[in-house]
A and B are shown apart, each in its own frame.
Chain A
Amino acid sequence: MYKIGVIGPWDSVSGFKAVGLTAFPVRDSEEAKEILDRIINDNYGILYIVEGLYKDMTQEIEKYKDMRIPAIIPIPGMDGSYGIGRANLKKAVERAVGADILFQNDSEEEGR
């Protein structure tokens, strides 16, 4: 059986604890990296990481990206979304197709 973990600042992750996830409150990305390395083989199926931290630890996350488990997923934190989830999706599309064909319309709209 697998567990689900959430890594992020205390105010963002405390709520997840109430719904039954394992919360790892951290203060900064250094601490988050340490925790990630420690729990990566700990039977976690999904790890949600708050975006504010995610953006500073992309290198560490990259290492585990092509593994089947755990799925490391960025979620917005208390301070809102940094658009990292979207950027990741965009990256995946570019990696697969060779060109970005999914977000073209959006950036045009933003440009206007």
Chain B
Amino acid sequence: MERMNVNPTRMILTSLKKKLVVATRGHKLLKDKRDELMKQFLELARQNKILRQEVEQKLALVYQNFAIAGAVMSPEFMEEALMFPKQGVILSIGRKNVMSVDVPVFSFEKGEGEGDSGDIYPYGFAATSGELDKAISGLSEVFASMLDLAAMEKEVGLLAEEIEKTRRRVNALEYVMIPKLEVTIKYIKMKLDENERGNQTRLMKVKDMMLEEAIREKKKRDEAILEAYKQQKRQKSS
């Protein structure tokens, strides 16, 4: 791993060490987040799959009835029958927080359209076929599941996005940021140690030199004293 381009000083070493601690902590937290998100996501995806199958099957049935109704009745008549819906749907959207992902929650109320309440069929029974009734009632049944499906699919999509983001962050920390910091810290430590050793040897060398000089001086002094002593002795004997 490439090390960062920094000056090997003690101050930078301290700040890098602090950064490494933060990065490691962040990595652990993000990893936990990713794991938890993944757990919820997989559960949700499994449910979603089942629900979608269910809805698709039910819808296929509804369409079948519609097809039959369409075959029995003329298209103009069908259109006329469905022209003014009796039932209105009001959707309200709440929000749910799943691991800091903002997820919409749908809930609906059946508001009233035109006409009296009680049944959902917006037409008279005289001129329409029974299959149309079946289709409409089937549709209003399947509708609740369709709403759940919509909420669930949106949640799955949003969670998938969040997981992807979190995974990228985890990987960036794990394979780039943290190794880089470690390498750089090691580099600075080595450099500082090297400087320390250099300093030590230099001091030792200086000490040696000073000692040598001292010894030489002492020798000189000793020689001088010895010389003086010898001269004295010669003078006495003569």
Residues of A at the B interface (CB closer than 8 Å) are 1-4, 11-12, 14-21, 45-46, 48, 65-66, 68-69, 71, 73, 75-78, 80-81, 85-86, 88-89, 92-93, 95-98, 101-103
Q: How distant is the Cα of A80 from the Cα of B191 in the complex, in angstroms?
A: 71
Other A-B pairs, 8, CB within 8 Å; known A4-B89, A20-B89, A78-B63: A11-B66, A14-B82, A73-B154, A86-B49, A92-B156, A93-B42, A97-B38, A97-B42
The secondary-structure label for the interface of chain B is helix
- A15's partner among B60, B139, B149, B163 (CB-CB below 8 A) is B139
- A68's partner among B49, B121, B150, B158 (CB-CB below 8 A) is B158
Report whether B66 and A15 are in contact in the complex, using a CB–CB cutoff of 8 Å: yes
Min distance, Cβ B100 to any Cβ of chain A, angstroms: 14
Nearest CB in chain A to that of B88: its residue: A20
Q: Is B189 among interface residues, defined by CB-CB distance under 8 A?
A: no
Q: Is B110 among interface residues, defined by CB-CB distance under 8 A?
A: yes
Report whether B70 and A17 are in contact in the complex, using a CB–CB cutoff of 8 Å: no
- On chain B, the number of residues with a Cβ less than 8 Å from chain A's Cβ atoms is 61
Q: Which residues of A contact B147 (CB under 8 A)?
A: 46
Given known contacts A20-B111, A66-B158, A46 and B78 CB-to-CB distance under 8 angstroms: no
Report whether A19 and B48 are in contact in the complex, using a CB–CB cutoff of 8 Å: no
